[in-house]
Amino acid sequence: MAVTVKDVAKLAGVSAATVSRVINDDPRISEETKKRVMECIEQLNYKINNIARSLKTNKTYTIGFICPEIPNEFFMTIAKGIEDWLRKHGYNVIICNSNESIKGEEERIKLLCEKCVDGMIVIPVSNQGKHFNRLKELDIPVVLVDRLVENFTTDAVLIDNINGCYSAIEYLINHGKKRIGFIGGDLRLTSGSERYEGYKRALKDYCIPLEEKIIKFGDFHIQSGYELMKELMEIDDPPQNVFIANYFMHIGATKYLIENKEKLKYPVSITITAG
């Protein structure tokens, strides 16, 4: 049905091997036959069969990207960056959605292994992940993004969560704020625990006692930010400054403040961190 190297070879009067070499820019092929073969390729509208090529070369030029949520601007902006870069370098990307679940993540990793991807980029859903060991066995390169996985060492692209938050808190303190509330994320994620760590360190270094009732932990989502801000504002003496550990929770928290403007005892200001 489809045109193959053999068809091209026959038309050009050469062997299939020669056609293959032309396709792969083998320098040993003479300019003359190269030109002739190219013309035949054009004429027959030959398209290489990447499946066959991959079977032979063991390379798919495909990278898998697993993220916890697809309709999420933070993750998708990363996805776009990955896709742009890899495309320029001849690779393409399969974007998968682990759906915030370890089981989902495990399934996608399995899927991508079966798809024979050349490598994977993963934003882990938690710091637990023995399913990553499969990748070590199969010798598939992995790069983690934003979060780490325990007992699995590999390259990773991370935010300096601790120092980033430390600086933010330090800034507030230097501007005279001493009672700073904290709305953080899941402590099982490095992005959750490390940002909390930065908060704690800054307070400690400036001799401000940790005040448990103005510290709340959510799940990095809008709704969670809304609820935690509500809890925070409903205690007897709410803080006037609140540090929020990510963008989405900040949206929820802001929403609460706007909706309940008149209820607040005094103005509240918010500081957030990237991610």
Q: Which residues bind a copy of itself (CB under 8 A)?
A: 47-52, 54-55, 60, 62, 70-73, 76-77, 79-80, 83, 92-97, 111, 113-116
Choose between 13 and 141: whose C-beta lies nearer to DNA.
Answer: 13
Q: Which of DNA, a copy of itself, none is residue 77 near (CB under 5 to 8 Å by kind)?
A: a copy of itself
CA distance 272 to 275: 9
Instruction: Tell me if 270 sits within 8 A of 253, measured CB to CB.
Output: yes
CA distance 152 to 129: 8
If one asks whether residue 2 binds DNA (CB under 7 A), the answer comes out as: yes
- Among 21-29, 117-125, 141-149, 256-264, the segment contacting DNA (CB under 7 A): 21-29
If one asks whether residue 179 binds DNA (CB under 7 A), the answer comes out as: no
Go through the chain and tell me how many residues it has: 275
CA distance 272 to 177: 15
Considering only residues 30 to 69 of the shown chain, the ones binding DNA according to CB under 7 A are: 30, 32-34, 46-49, 52-53, 55-57
Q: Which of DNA, a copy of itself, none is residue 73 near (CB under 5 to 8 Å by kind)?
A: a copy of itself
Please name which of 195, 217, 205, 197 lies closest in space to residue 173, comparing C-alpha atoms.
205
62 CB-side CA count, 13 A: 15
How is residue 216 written in tokens? 């709340």
Q: Which residues bind DNA (CB under 7 A)?
A: 1-2, 4-6, 13-18, 20-21, 23-24, 26, 28-30, 32-34, 46-49, 52-53, 55-57
